[in-house]
């Protein structure tokens, strides 16, 4: 049986490689957009060096409020803390500006203690976007151990009866899981690759399977929050927190799911995850409420469309996800995904969304929406919008290298 399994895996890998080889030449980046991206990345380098001058030693940027001129910051325990060093390192990868690497190293020393934080599901965001990126650029035993400790901390939040990693701590009778949690599974897949310990992989796959079963509607839109019974695993409630309504499609949540299931397919090569990612992409790209410029409203069911606020963060995450998913999809879908991501990057690069130098608190992008129902982070720059915008631009550039 083991020989048969290995043979099957080998065949699957060969088929996957052949599919990718057939398609990699079919995506042709626009020279004008590549030039725009080069300018964006150069300007982003300067912006983030400017941002660094505004931060106190243990502060992490969250948002900037143009109406007051105030930079909003957090400590290392906030879920967004990994995006600042992650963006610095991604820009360093592109521009080779040593000042960015120095600042990333400095702030990661503040962040390192979160490897032992068992009270958050966001360790993927916090630690993989930062230390994971650092380890890609310059692997060290220290980075590896921090990432492994982070994966172990994240794993403590898994409940086998529910089949999920708990997102938010609440009263004992609740077990709250949000769609955002799909983004933290990449850390667990990495841990299995590094250690050979399949328990991390199994947790990630189980969480993904439970999410498909309970988070998604027949049209491939996602609820934001599922409340499980921690003793039985039964669903107690399906609702939203940051979206417009219980049954609405909160834009960033849809983007988290698209990106997350694309990663799960990459790591497993199991077609059901590709089918899930494609279904989510169809829901997004065929949605009658998706604007022509592909920058979504903060919720696809916001009541005041077309006057609802746009969410640049949801657009950036979607673009980055589509630039990976297009590599795995069939030719027609792949082209659609690639062209949509191209449109998003082009429009996020316009003066409507891109900051002028030394403005906007050092952020690259304007006009994201954090938590509309709570009245927080509304129509402001957000640190994760920048991170995924830079990642999307990097991914687009990679297609220019394919022959």
- Is 180 assigned a ligand-binding role in the annotation? yes
* Pairing between β-strand 376-380 and β-strand 368-371 as defined by DSSP bridges: antiparallel
Cβ atoms within 10 Å, residue 52: 19
- Is 240 assigned a ligand-binding role in the annotation? yes
- Is 2 assigned a ligand-binding role in the annotation? no
> Cis peptide leading into 197, omega within 30 of 0?
no
| Sequence-separated (6 or more) residues with CB below 8 Å from residue 34 | 396, 397, 400
- Is 256 assigned a ligand-binding role in the annotation? yes
- Is 133 assigned a ligand-binding role in the annotation? no
For the chain, give the secondary structure using H, E and C: CHHHHHHHHHHHHHHHHHHHHHHHHHCCCCHHHHHHHHHHHHHHHHHHHHHHHHCCCCCEEEEEECCCCEEEEECCCCCCCCHHHHHHHHHHHHHCCHHHHHHHHHHHHHHHHHHHCCCCCCHHHHHHHHHHHHHHHCCCHHHHHHHHHHHHHHHCCEECCCCEECCECCCCCCEEEEHHHHHHHHHHHHHHHHHCCHHHHHHHHHHHHHHHHHHECCCCCECCEEEECCCCCCEEEEECCCCCCCCCCEHHHHHHHHHHHHHHHHHHCCHHHHHHHHHHHHHHHCCCCCCCCCCCECECCCCCCCCCCECHHHHHHHHHHHHHHHHHCCHHHHHHHHHHHHHHHHHHCCCCCECCCCCHHHCCECCEEEECCCCEEEEECEHHHHHHHHHHHHHHHHHCCCC
Rounded to 10 degrees, the C-alpha dihedral 299/302/306/311 comes to -30
Catalytic residues: 122, 180
d(CA 322, CA 258): 8
Q: Which residues are annotated as a binding site for substrate?
A: 122, 180, 240, 252, 256
């Amino acid at each position: 049986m083991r020989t048969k399994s290995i043979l099957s895996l080998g065949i699957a890998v060969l088929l996957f490689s052949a599919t990718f080889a057939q398609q990699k030449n079919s995506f042709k980046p626009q020279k004008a957009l590549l030039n725009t991206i080069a300018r964006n990345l150069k300007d982003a380098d300067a912006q983030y060096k400017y941002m660094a001058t505004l931060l106190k030693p243990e502060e992490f940027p969250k948002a900037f409020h143009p109406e007051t001129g105030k930079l909003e910051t957090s400590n290392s325990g906030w879920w967004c803390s990994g995006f600042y060093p992650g963006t610095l390192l991604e820009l360093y990868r592109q521009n080779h500006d040593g000042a960015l690497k120095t600042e990333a190293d400095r702030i990661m020393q503040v962040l390192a203690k979160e490897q032992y934080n068992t009270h958050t599901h966001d360790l993927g965001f916090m630690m993989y976007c930062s230390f994971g990126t650092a380890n890609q650029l310059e692997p060290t035993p220290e980075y590896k151990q921090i990432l492994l400790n982070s994966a172990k901390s994240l794993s403590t939040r898994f409940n086998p009866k529910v089949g999920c990693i708990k997102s938010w701590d609440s009263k004992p009778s609740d077990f709250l899981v949000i769609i955002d949690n799909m983004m933290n599974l990449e850390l667990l897949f990495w841990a299995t690759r590094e250690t050979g310990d399949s328990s991390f992989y199994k947790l990630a796959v189980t969480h993904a399977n439970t999410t498909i079963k309970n988070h998604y509607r027949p049209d491939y839109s996602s609820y934001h929050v599922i409340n499980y019974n921690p003793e039985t695993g039964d669903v107690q409630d399906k609702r939203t927190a940051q979206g417009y309504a219980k049954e609405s499609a909160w834009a960033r949540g849809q983007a988290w799911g698209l990106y997350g299931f694309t990663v799960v397919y990459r790591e497993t090569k199991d077609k059901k995850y590709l089918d899930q990612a494609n279904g989510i992409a169809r829901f997004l790209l065929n949605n009658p409420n998706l604007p022509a410029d592909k920058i979504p409203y903060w919720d696809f069911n916001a009541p005041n469309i077309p006057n609802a606020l746009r969410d640049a963060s949801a657009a950036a995450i979607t673009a980055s996800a589509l630039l990976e998913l297009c590599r795995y999809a069939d030719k027609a879908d792949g082209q659609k995904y690639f062209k949509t991501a191209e449109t998003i990057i082009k429009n996020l690069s316009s003066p409507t969304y891109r900051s002028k130098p030394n403005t906007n608190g050092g952020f690259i992008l304007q006009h994201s929406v954090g938590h509309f129902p709570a009245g927080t982070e509304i129509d402001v720059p957000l640190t994760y919008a920048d991170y995924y915008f830079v990642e999307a631009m990097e991914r687009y550039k990679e297609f220019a290298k394919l022959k």
